[in-house]
Chain A
Amino acid sequence: GESVGLHLPTLSVQEGDNSIINCAYSNSASDYFIWYKQESGKGPQFIIDIRSNMDKRQGQRVTVLLNKTVKHLSLQIAATQPGDSAVYFCAENIPGSGYALNFGKGTSLLVTP
């Protein structure tokens, strides 16, 4: 089946810098995309989502960009903090299955002082 993948498995940034995590998707029928944060030993926590009729959406310190032409999704975190250290997953909806998701493998973000 089609899959969601990530360009980089690990990302190390300094506290205060901006972080960018990238993701490629291949299912052109997907119309909903979402980013989750997962800390060690915990379940995924919702960060931000975006629908296919949008190309940008902003939250608190986070922005998601969607480029449907090249099937690319990115998560931008402004002024990265140590508490942002976690694994970040992008996911796309599986059409026709409620809002069941197809997850990528994740990017580990490490924020250093």
Chain B
Amino acid sequence: NAGVTQTPKFRVLKTGQSMTLLCAQDMNHEYMYWYRQDPGMGLRLIHYSVGEGTTAKGEVPDGYNVSRLKKQNFLLGLESAAPSQTSVYFCASSYLGTGMTEAFFGQGTRLTVV
């Protein structure tokens, strides 16, 4: 059981380039999330989804777009990367319902924008 898988694990972008981070979960979870983590900081919520076809903004959504076309996948897009988006990005998913509501995290994508 793979859990939450993020692709790629590392990436270096030039300022202005675009890219898409892929998150896939095989636990049939309804909820999915994208966070970023900067050095010495906790995670901050970028966007989230409460179901297939739905997305919503989190605390730091500017410069990012997301899509959830399939229940198991949650994509994070950077249309025009900026150095301020250098960070480690984590995807997570969680179950709808009582109990077992903890979020399961992927291993992260380390993105550097130069």
- Which residues of A are in contact with B by a Cβ distance under 8 Å? 1, 4, 32, 34, 36, 41-46, 49, 89, 91, 94, 97-106
Contact = CB atoms under 8 A, between A and B. Distances in A.
Nearest to A43: B105
A101 B101 contact: no
19 contacts: A4-B42, A34-B102, A36-B105, A41-B108, A42-B108, A43-B4, A43-B92, A43-B106, A43-B107, A44-B43, A49-B101, A49-B102, A91-B42, A97-B48, A97-B56, A101-B103, A102-B59, A103-B35, A103-B43
Interface string B46-84: 001110000010110000000000000000000000000
Given A34-B102, A99-B101, A105 B94 contact: no
CB-based closest 9 A-B pairs:
A103-B42, A43-B105, A98-B31, A46-B102, A98-B50, A103-B43, A99-B94, A100-B48, A105-B42
Interface residues of B, number: 29
A97 B34 CA distance: 13
B41 A105 contact: yes
Interface string B81-114: 0000000001010101000011111111000000
B108 A100 contact: no
B44 A32 contact: no
A78 to B, nearest CB: 21
Contacts of B101: 32, 49, 99
Contacts of A1: 59
Given A1-B59, A43-B90, A97-B56, A105 B31 contact: no
B84 to A, nearest CB: 19
B22 interface: no
Contacts of A41: 108
Given A98-B94, A101-B45, A42 B107 contact: yes
Residue among A42, A44, A45, A98 with the most chain B CB within 10 A? A98
